[in-house]
Amino acid sequence: MFKKEIKLKEEEKKLYITVSIEKRTYINQKRLTFEEDILKIIPEQYKEKVTMVSKPNYKISNFTRNNHKQSGTWIFEIKTENEEIKNEKPAKPTANTRRRKTRTSRTKKD
């Protein structure tokens, strides 16, 4: 029922996945909502090399509501091997927080 288009733009180093469905025309047609994991649609050769840049802020379905639309596009950025090596920096150690000295009760001066 859902159409899934995969477009690869090598010059931009981006992978576009568009999911769409036709709008429900009759009330006796079943309501459908896209609930499949989008990461399963990514081609095998790119699964480990992509990071999600953007995704739709609404659900994809064959009916209209406030948070539902008939199509949506996920955009993934393709990492090259050089970029993957650069991103593997060791984690910075966190700074220890200093304890605040406890206040002593102030004595009144007479």
Q: Is residue 27, in this structure, part of any structural domain at all?
A: yes
Q: Is residue 67, in this structure, part of any structural domain at all?
A: yes
Q: Is this model's pTM higher than 0.75 or not?
A: no
Q: Is residue 53, in this structure, part of any structural domain at all?
A: yes
Q: Is residue 21, in this structure, part of any structural domain at all?
A: yes
Across the strands, what pairs with 9?
A: 14
Q: Which residues of the chain have pLDDT under 50?
A: none
Range of the domain at 28: 3-86
- Contact yes or no for 23/62 (Cβ under 8 A): yes
- How many CB atoms neighbour CB 15 within 10 A? 22
Q: Is residue 51, in this structure, part of any structural domain at all?
A: yes
Q: Is residue 94, in this structure, part of any structural domain at all?
A: no
- Would you put residue 13 in left (φ > 0), alpha (ψ -120 to 50) or beta? left
Q: Is residue 60, in this structure, part of any structural domain at all?
A: yes
Domain count, the chain: 1
- Report the percentage of the chain scoring pLDDT > 90: 53
Q: What is the pLDDT of residue 20?
A: 95
| φ and ψ of 71, to 5 deg | -150, 155
Q: Is residue 95, in this structure, part of any structural domain at all?
A: no
